[in-house]
Structure 1
Amino acid sequence: MARFFAAIGLLNLVIFSTSFLAAEEEVMTNSWHVIFKRDVDHQTAHDVANRNGFLMIMPMLGSKREYHFMHPQVKSNRKKRSIRHTKNLKLDPLIATAVQQAGYKRSKRGFKPLKSLLDEEKPIESINAFPPKKGSNEEDPLFDKEWYIKNTGQAGGVPGLDLNAEAAWAKGYTGKNITTAIMDDGVDYMHPDLFDNFNAEASFDFSSNDNFPYPRYTDDWFNSHGTRCAGEIAAKRNNGICGVGVAYNSKIAGLRMLDQPYMTDLIEASSMSHRPDLIDIYSASWGPTDDGKTVDGPRNATMRAIVKGVNEGRNGLGSIYVWASGDGGPSDDCNCDGYAASMWTISINSATNDGRTASYDESCSSTLASTFSNGKPGYKDAGVATTDLYGKCTTKHSGTSAAAPEAAGVFALALEANRKLTWRDVQHLTVLTSKRNHLEDPTAHHQWTMNGAGLEFNHLFGYGVLDAGDMVDLAKDWKTVPERFHCTAGTVKGVYKFDSKNALKLQIDTDGCRGKKNQVNYLEHVQSFITLNSTRRGDVTIYLTSPMNTTSLILSRRPNDDDNKDGFNKWPFMTTHSWAENPRGKWILFVTFSSESEEFQSGNLFEWTLMLHGTQKSPYTSQTSPLIHNTKSKLALVKRQHERAAEFQF
C-alpha cells in the first residue's frame, strides 16, 4: 500500500507537468467526466444521468464515484464548451463536479495512405480461407517470410538477427494462459488464424460501447492496423494459414478505441484499465501526431489508469504497458511523447532486418529496447508478415506499429515462464537480456556506450534487440526485484539564460536521499522535470550526465518545431541509460542550441527538478539464474559490479 501512495504522490507532479501544447484549436466532445459526492451504484448513476438528459456510459477506473456520461443531443465535436449542460450536472445534489471532455488527435504508427496501399501494399490472399481439418499439421505458408522470428537472410537480412523466439518455443514456452490487449482500431476476431486465440471476455469496443471490437470497414483498409498487430502476437501455428505469432498459444483481446475523429481522456483511461484481472499486457502502436513539433501525452484520468494498472493489475504484480516509440524519424524525439517516455510503459523502437534503424524511427533516451519493423528497401516481402482483415494475410506491415506487438509477444513468453513477474521485473529482464547483435546506426551519430554499471546501450536501440530465448531462461528462476523508491534529488529555480553563443550548464549534487526511507542506491529511471522557453523550441538540445559519467541526450533537435511561446512546462524528460548505477554525486544538465540556421537564438530555463527512481538493495546480487555462470552475460557483469559496490556502506 505504501508503494501505491508513493506512486500517487509522484503522479500529482506528473499530472501537473503535462500542460499540453496544442497548436490546433480546441475541440469539445459530447462526453463528460462526472464525479459524485459519494459512492453510488450503477442504477443510481444511470438515474442521475437520465434525469439530466445524459446517458451513463460506464464507471471510470473501477470507481463507484467516477462515471463517464454522454449527451446524445450534443455534437461529438464542437468548438465551444456546452456550459449549460455542465452547469446542470453540477447543480444536481449528488454530483460534486463535471468536466466536459476535450477531443484530441491520436495517430496510428506506421499507417500509409490509400495510394500507397493500393499501389504497393495490397494484402495477399491467405492460403486457406478457413482452418484446415482437425488433426492437420500443415505448416504456416508465410512462416519463411517471418524473418523477425527466424532470420535466415530473407529480403537481404542478416542471418540470426531476430527475436530468437524458436529458442523459447523449444523450451515449451508459447504464451499459454497469457492475454495481450490490442488497444487499436479493432481486431478481426473472425480471422481463422486468430479465432481460437481471441479472448472475448477481455475485449470491448470503446468507440461503439459494446462487446464486439470488430473493425469498421473502409475502402482503404485503414482499420487493418489492430488485426495486423494481433497476428504478430497470437497467430496460430501449423494451421496452414498466414504465419505464426511470437506467442502463438497466447490470447489476444481487442480494445477498439482508436477509430474515432477525436480521442478523449476517458476513452484512453477506460481502455488502459479494462479488465486488469484478465489482461496481462496492453500493447499500443499509436500516440501523439508524429509531426516533429507536437509535445503531448496522457491526461489526468489516463495517467491515473496507468498508475493504477502497474500497482493493482495482474493481482498486484502490475499490468505491462508496451508502447511503440514513434514514426517521426530523425526530425522528432520520442521524449516529447508522454506515453513512450513514461517510466510505467516499455518503449520499443524498431530495427530493420539487417540491423539498421528504419528511416521513420524516432530516438530518445527513454527507449528501453528494440524489435523489428521492416526489411531492406527494394526487397520483396521485406515488411512484417502477419494477419490482415477478412481472412487475408499481408507481408507489408511496418513501422514501430509492428515493433511493439513483437515485444508484447516476447513478454507473453516470459510471463508464461514465470507468472510471478512484476511490471518492473519485466523491465529488468528486458535490460539484461536484450542484445546488441548486429544493430548499428548507419549515420554513426549514435554509438554503443557502456554506462557506469557496465550495461551497454544505444540512443536509438535502447539496450538492444529482445532475445526471447534468454528472457525465458532468466525469467523462470528470477527473484522479484526489491521495493522501488523515488527520491527528489534537487531543484534548480531561477532565470537561467542560454543562446546561440552561450550554452547553459547546471548541476545538482545529491546524496540519493541517503539515510531516509526513500533512499535510492541503484537506479532504474531518471526524470528531469524542466520548464523553459526559447525563440525556437525545436533547436534546443539537452544533455544529462550522471555522477558515473553516463551522458543521456534527453532532448534532440526537432527541426519542424518552431514554437516560440509555450516551450516546456515541467515536462518529464526521462532516461533509462543510467540503469543500475549509483546516483550519488553531481548530475550535470547541459542546454544548448543546435541549428543549421545562423539566426540568433535565445532561451530561458526557469526550473529543473531531478527525480531518481530505483532500489535500496541491488536487484541482482540475490539472483541465482544459470545465466550467471556465463561470465559475459549482462547479469553476471552487473552483479559483480554491485557486489563490489556493496563492500562500501551506503
Structure 2
Amino acid sequence: MTLRDVQHLLVQASEPVGKPGNNNFTLNGAGRYFHSVFGYGLLNAGRLVTLAENRQPVAPLLTEEEKPIDIRYPTPFTQEVDFCYSCVVNNSSKCVSKLEHVTINISFQTACGKLQIVLASPDGTESVLVDLPNVSENSRYTIHLMSVQFWDEVAFGTYMLKIIGGSNKCGRTKVLSVSLILYGTNDHKAKERQCRVAKKHASNDKRVHSDTEYALIFLGGGAVVLTALMVYAYRINASRIFIIKYWTRLQRFACKRLPPSDKYELHPFRNNIGCSDLVGTRLIDSPEVQGSNPGPST
C-alpha cells in the first residue's frame, strides 16, 4: 500500500463532526465536507478497514502547471489572479481531470498590515492558504502553499487566486511571480469545462494586463477623448464660420439697398463695422457711433 492509497482511504473514511451546516464544515464541489482545521473530519476506523480490504489500485498521479492568464486589481489592496486549465480528456491519458490536491508557488514582497491568500476552484470552493493579521513591511518571500480541499473535484476551468494585503500607510503587497500546479488522476467520465476567460499561451512571465498594455490603453483612451474634443471644437468653429458667412452675405445685400445714413450694422462676433468693409465703397459710419449724420464721402 502506497502513501497515496492511504491518503485516498483517509479521505473516504472520514466523516464531518456534528450537524452539517452548524460545525464550520463546508461542502466542496465533489460533495465532500471539509474543515480548515479538522480536514475531512473524524476518521471512522471500521470504515477504514473495510475500504482497505476492498481497495482498488489508485490511478497514476498526474500533474499540470499553469501560469496566470489575467491579473486584476478590484481594490487598492486586492489582487485577483486567474489560471485556466483545459484538456481534451478523450484524446490524452495525461489529462488531470480529477483533483487530489493543488499547490501555489508564489513570490511576493509584503507591505505592512494584514495578508490573506485565498484560492477558489472552478466549482467555487474557497481554500484559505494564508491568513495573517499583520506582517512586516518590505519582506520578500518565496513559498509553496498546498490545499487538499478540492479533493475529487473536476479539474477543468478557471481558478482564481486572491491576494489581500497592504494599507494606506505602505501600499499594496507586490506579487513578483506565481504559478498553479494541479495534482490528480485521469477520469474519462469527467466533462470538459470552458474557462471564464480565453486561455492565452505565453511565456512564464506572461501577464494579460502588463504595464505597457496599461500605458497603451491609457494613450488610446486619451486619443479618443482628444478626438472627441477636436470634433466638438470643429463643430463650434464650423458653426461660427457658417453664421459669419451668411450674416455677411445678408449685410452686403442690405448695404447695397439701404440709404447711406443707414449703412451701419452690428457684426455677430466682431466690433461694429461699416458697410464700406463689405461692399467696397468708402462710407461714413452711422451717427450712433460718430455723433453726426453726414452723407457718403466723395
* 1:457 to partner: Cα distance: 0.4
Counterpart of 2:76 in structure 1 is 501
SS at match of 1:539: strand
In the aligned structure 1, how far is the partner of 2:92 from the partner of 2:29? 24
Instruction: Tell me which amino acid in the other structure corresponds to 1:523.
Output: L
Cα distance change, pair 531–480 in 1 and its aligned pair in 2 (3 A): same
Counterpart of 2:173 in structure 1 is 603
In the aligned structure 2, how far is the partner of 1:541 from the partner of 1:485? 29
Whether the 8 Å CA contact 1:529–1:572 is kept in 2: the answer is yes
Query: Is 2:187 the counterpart of 1:617?
Result: yes
Cα distance change, pair 448–647 in 1 and its aligned pair in 2 (3 A): closer
Cα distance change, pair 521–542 in 1 and its aligned pair in 2 (3 A): same
Counterpart of 1:530 in structure 2 is 106
In the aligned structure 1, how far is the partner of 2:37 from the partner of 2:123? 21
Counterpart of 2:40 in structure 1 is 463
- Show CA shifts across 1:472-495 (max 9, x none): 11111111211111111x21399x
Counterpart of 1:589 in structure 2 is 161
Instruction: Tell me which amino acid in the other structure corresponds to 2:12.
Output: L
Return 5+ residue gaps in structure 2 as ranges. 194-298
Query: Is 2:144 the counterpart of 1:572?
Result: yes
In the aligned structure 2, how far is the partner of 1:577 from the partner of 1:615? 16
Instruction: Tell me which amino acid in the other structure corresponds to 2:123.
Output: M
Cα distance change, pair 563–467 in 1 and its aligned pair in 2 (3 A): farther
Whether the 8 Å CA contact 1:493–1:607 is kept in 2: the answer is no
By percentage of residues, which structure has more strand? 2
Q: Which has the higher contact order (CA 8 A, sep 6+)?
A: 2
SS at match of 1:492: coil
In the aligned structure 2, how far is the partner of 1:512 from the partner of 1:467? 36
* 1:467 to partner: Cα distance: 2.0
Cα distance change, pair 516–532 in 1 and its aligned pair in 2 (3 A): farther
Cα distance change, pair 512–609 in 1 and its aligned pair in 2 (3 A): farther
Counterpart of 1:481 in structure 2 is 58
* 1:509 to partner: Cα distance: 1.4
Q: What pairs up with 1:83-232 in 2 under 5 angstroms?
A: none
Whether the 8 Å CA contact 2:98–2:152 is kept in 1: the answer is yes
Whether the 8 Å CA contact 1:542–1:591 is kept in 2: the answer is yes
TM-score, scaled relative to structure 2: 0.57
- Show CA shifts across 1:84-119 (max 9, x none): xxxxxxxxxxxxxxxxxxxxxxxxxxxxxxxxxxxx
Whether the 8 Å CA contact 2:96–2:182 is kept in 1: the answer is yes
- Which of 421, 440, 452 matches 2:29? 452
Counterpart of 1:562 in structure 2 is 136
Return 5+ residue gaps in structure 1 as ranges. 1-420, 619-645
Counterpart of 2:234 in structure 1 is none
* 1:542 to partner: Cα distance: 1.0
Counterpart of 2:122 in structure 1 is 547
In the aligned structure 2, how far is the partner of 1:498 from the partner of 1:649? 29
Cα distance change, pair 491–467 in 1 and its aligned pair in 2 (3 A): same
SS at match of 2:43: coil
TM-score, scaled relative to structure 1: 0.27
Instruction: Tell me which amino acid in the other structure corresponds to 1:575.
Output: S
Larger radius of gyration, structure 1 or 2? 2
In the aligned structure 2, how far is the partner of 1:481 from the partner of 1:599? 51
In the aligned structure 1, how far is the partner of 2:29 from the partner of 2:177? 27
SS at match of 2:16: coil
Instruction: Tell me which amino acid in the other structure corresponds to 1:425.
Output: D
Cα distance change, pair 522–510 in 1 and its aligned pair in 2 (3 A): same
SS at match of 2:132: coil
Counterpart of 1:264 in structure 2 is none
- Which of 429, 432, 440 matches 2:12? 432
In the aligned structure 2, how far is the partner of 1:474 from the partner of 1:612? 26
* 1:601 to partner: Cα distance: 3.8
Whether the 8 Å CA contact 1:491–1:608 is kept in 2: the answer is yes
Cα distance change, pair 605–498 in 1 and its aligned pair in 2 (3 A): farther
In the aligned structure 1, how far is the partner of 2:192 from the partner of 2:121? 20
- Show CA shifts across 1:40-67 (max 9, x none): xxxxxxxxxxxxxxxxxxxxxxxxxxxx
In the aligned structure 2, how far is the partner of 1:483 from the partner of 1:548? 24
In the aligned structure 2, how far is the partner of 1:606 from the partner of 1:587? 19
SS at match of 2:138: coil
Alignment length, in residue pairs?
192
- Show CA shifts across 1:249-278 (max 9, x none): xxxxxxxxxxxxxxxxxxxxxxxxxxxxxx
* 1:517 to partner: Cα distance: 4.9
Q: What pairs up with 1:145-544 in 2 under 5 angstroms?
A: 421-438=1-18, 447-488=24-65, 490-492=66-68, 501-512=76-87, 514=89, 515-536=91-112, 539-544=114-119
User: Kindly, what percent of the aligned residue pairs are identical?
Assistant: 26
Cα distance change, pair 598–466 in 1 and its aligned pair in 2 (3 A): farther
In the aligned structure 2, how far is the partner of 1:482 from the partner of 1:452? 21
In the aligned structure 1, how far is the partner of 2:31 from the partner of 2:171? 38
- Show CA shifts across 1:124-153 (max 9, x none): xxxxxxxxxxxxxxxxxxxxxxxxxxxxxx
Whether the 8 Å CA contact 1:499–1:601 is kept in 2: the answer is no
In the aligned structure 1, how far is the partner of 2:133 from the partner of 2:52? 38
In the aligned structure 2, how far is the partner of 1:455 from the partner of 1:433? 11
